[in-house]
Amino acid sequence: MHSKANILVKFGKRVRDLRKSQGLSQEELAFKADLHRTYIGMIERAEKNITLVNVEKIANALNVGIKELFNG
């Protein structure tokens, strides 16, 4: 798998794992992060190359540091 695609897969899985461990639906995470629910789904399925601004929004919504989104 191409390295760019691989990081998207790893990031999406990490977001999904953290979201589920906190008992949040995609809709709830999207609301907390001020993003659209379908966008969260696309991130989790590695269909979207996310911006750093949105990485920060998701980290804040999950109450984790940005670094924690990449370590898992």
pLDDT in tens, 9-49: 999 999 999 999 999 999 999 999 999 999 999 999 999 99
Tell me which H or E stretch contains 51.
none
8 A C-beta contact, residue 50 and residue 12: no
Q: Tell me the whole-structure pTM to 2 decimals.
A: 0.91
| pLDDT band at residue 5 using 50, 70 and 90 as cut-offs | confident
What b/e string do you get for 22-45 counting C-beta neighbours within 10 Å, with b at 16 or more?
eebebeebbebbebeeebbbbbbe
